[in-house]
Amino acid sequence: MHKKPFLPSKVCMTCNKPFNWRKKWQRNWDHVRYCSERCRRQKESNQTDSYVNDTKTM
């Protein structure tokens, strides 16, 4: 049996996978959007890539 079965969870905005609350996020859980640093960085690069692609088509 798990010791912490009722932790809050969210869905990552980049990979769309569920992730659970972590102690390091306890102060800013409301602002957490990504499951990992990798997903956060990937999301930022995807936004800049789409901007570059949009400007090329103009």
Contact (Cβ atoms closer than 8 angstroms) between residue 12 and residue 34: yes
Q: Is the dihedral of CA 30, 37, 39, 53 positive or negative?
A: positive
pLDDT tens-digit map of 35-47: 999 999 997 666 6
> CA 16, CA 19: separation in Å to the nearest integer?
9
Q: For the chain, which residues make up each domain, given as ranges?
A: 9-56
State pTM to two decimals: 0.65
Q: How far is CA 13 from the centre of its chain?
A: 5
Dig out the tokens for 55 from the structure: 């400007």
pLDDT in tens, 13-42: 999 999 999 999 999 999 999 999 999 999
At 7 the three-state DSSP class reads coil
Q: Has residue 53 got a pLDDT over 60?
A: no
